[in-house]
Amino acid sequence: MPADLSDYFKKDKKREEKNFDEDDGGDMDFFNNFGKKAGFLYVLIFLVAILIITKPFVVIQSGEVGIKVTAGKYEPVPLGPGFHVYIPFIQDIIIVDTKVRVINYTSKAERGEIVLNRNSGIKYKPAISVLDARGLPVSIDLTVQYRLKPQNAPQTIARWGLSWEDKIINPIVRDIVRNVIGKYPAEDLPVKRNEIAKRIEVEIKRRLDAFEGSPVELISVQLRNIILPPKIKEQIERVQIAKQEAERTRYEVERARQEAQKRAALATGIAEARKIEAKGKADAIKIEAEAKSYANSVIAKSLTPYLLRLREIETQAKFNEALRENRDAKIFLTPGGAVPNIWVDTKDKKIQSAIGSKE
């Protein structure tokens, strides 16, 4: 083997031995360093596990408040929305919903027709069974909207617990509805529905405000349905039908009365028109007669004896002139004078004989 190749393999072998020694030494250093840091890593892992298990923080959403409990004692000031930290095993934070909540009292809940959603803020209760003023059974469907007052939430939860709704709202609503409905007979309930709903809402609000610290705010009360006994429903239906018939009769009578008044007004108008027309004609005749009378009086005043004599002479002259031109005239009368002048046609034998016989 050439000398240069022998030297090459020897150098290569020495490099491999050196690299092996360096790698072995590096691994040993890693394990030595790991051993030193293992204690810190174990502590870190332990702390992370504690945080995961105990979760010493909470995030409160809008529409919620937090109640911090320290060693079983409720702190009086509620926690608002945001990030809050507490000490595990010593403290706790209870999250309470302060948004508007609803209780529906409905007959559907009794029949199991409603699917409950616990996170919806809506509760369903059986319809409220009550007795009317005469002891007849009536069922009431009602909706109540309310909310827990945030500023008093710690005191309310400390006193009533997390089931405060069933201890405050439900008993008051049922008691008020029974008291109010019990003052009315069943047949009056549909007619006075709005009045009854208002009274129920006012009474529930008054009772809630009377609680120490006023823990609950009443938003509204809606009276949705009044379920009456079958006999009462039939009686109300008969009454309604009778009222409708009476109303229809009153309408017909009123319409007939209006028609009669219309005809009477029309006849009165016609009579008045005729009266006015007749009065107009009479007034016209009267005016015309008065005008003629006035004219005659004026003429009469102007006819003096001298004027009449003059008119008689003028007329006599005209007749004389006419007689000369028309000797065959039948009859001519001359007005005025004591004895009127008469000319007759002497050619008419009948008239002539009549005149002769008179002579």
* 3-class DSSP string for 316-358: HHHHHHHHHHCCCCCEEECCCCCCCCEEECCCCHHHHHHHHHH
DSSP secondary structure string, 145-175?
EEEE-GGGHHHHHHHH-TTHHHHHHHHHHHH
Predicted local distance difference test score (pLDDT) of residue 57: 83
Predicted local distance difference test score (pLDDT) of residue 239: 76
Predicted local distance difference test score (pLDDT) of residue 333: 53
Instruction: Yes or no: say if 222 and 204 are a contact pair by the CB < 8 Å rule.
Output: no
Residue 225 has pLDDT above 50, yes or no: yes
Higher model confidence: residue 246 or residue 145? Answer: 145
CB atoms within 10 A of CB 96: 19
Give me the percent of the chain exceeding a pLDDT of 70.
Answer: 72
Predicted local distance difference test score (pLDDT) of residue 292: 81
Q: What is d(CA 200, CA 187) in angstroms, rounded to the nearest whole number?
A: 18
Tokens of 212: 């120490």
Q: For Cα atoms 201, 204, 208, give the angle at the middle one, nearest 5 degrees.
A: 140
237 backbone dihedrals φ, ψ, rounded to 5°: -65, -40
Instruction: Yes or no: say if 72 and 92 are a contact pair by the CB < 8 Å rule.
Output: no
Q: What is the pLDDT of residues 244-255, one digit of tens each?
A: 888 888 888 888
Provide the residue type at 115 as one letter: V
Segment 182-186 mean pLDDT? 92
| Cα maximum dimension of the chain | 219
Q: For Cα atoms 82, 85, 86, give the angle at the middle one, nearest 5 degrees.
A: 135
In the chain, list all ranges with CATH 3.30.479.30.
101-228
81 backbone dihedrals φ, ψ, rounded to 5°: -60, 140
Which 8-state DSSP code applies to residue 187? G
- Burial pattern 126-149, b for ≥16 Cβ within 10 A else e, equals ebbebebeeeeebbbbbebebbbb
Residue 359 has pLDDT above 70, yes or no: no
Predicted local distance difference test score (pLDDT) of residue 3: 45
Instruction: Yes or no: say if 118 and 97 are a contact pair by the CB < 8 Å rule.
Output: no
pTM assigned to the model: 0.55
- Bridge partners (DSSP) of residue 142 are 105, 223
Residue indicated by tokens 């219309």: 262
Predicted local distance difference test score (pLDDT) of residue 335: 53
Which 8-state DSSP code applies to residue 79? B
Instruction: Yes or no: say if 98 and 147 are a contact pair by the CB < 8 Å rule.
Output: yes
Tokens of 156: 């309310």
Kind of pairing between the strands at 101-106 and 122-126: parallel
Domain 101-228 has CATH 3.30.70.20: no
Q: Which distant-in-sequence residues (6+ apart) come within 8 Å of 189 by Cβ?
A: 132, 138, 181, 196, 226, 228
DSSP secondary structure string, 33-58?
HHHHHHHHHHHHHHHHHHHHHH--EE
Segment 36-50 mean pLDDT? 69
Q: What is d(CA 359, CA 355) in angstroms, rounded to the nearest whole number?
A: 6
Q: What is the pLDDT of residues 323-341, one digit of tens each?
A: 676 666 554 554 555 445 5
Segment 60-68 mean pLDDT? 93
Segment 116-131 mean pLDDT? 81
Instruction: Yes or no: say if 175 and 105 are a contact pair by the CB < 8 Å rule.
Output: no
Burial class (CB in 10 A: 0-12, 13-18, 19+), 100: middle
Segment 298-309 mean pLDDT? 72
Predicted local distance difference test score (pLDDT) of residue 213: 83
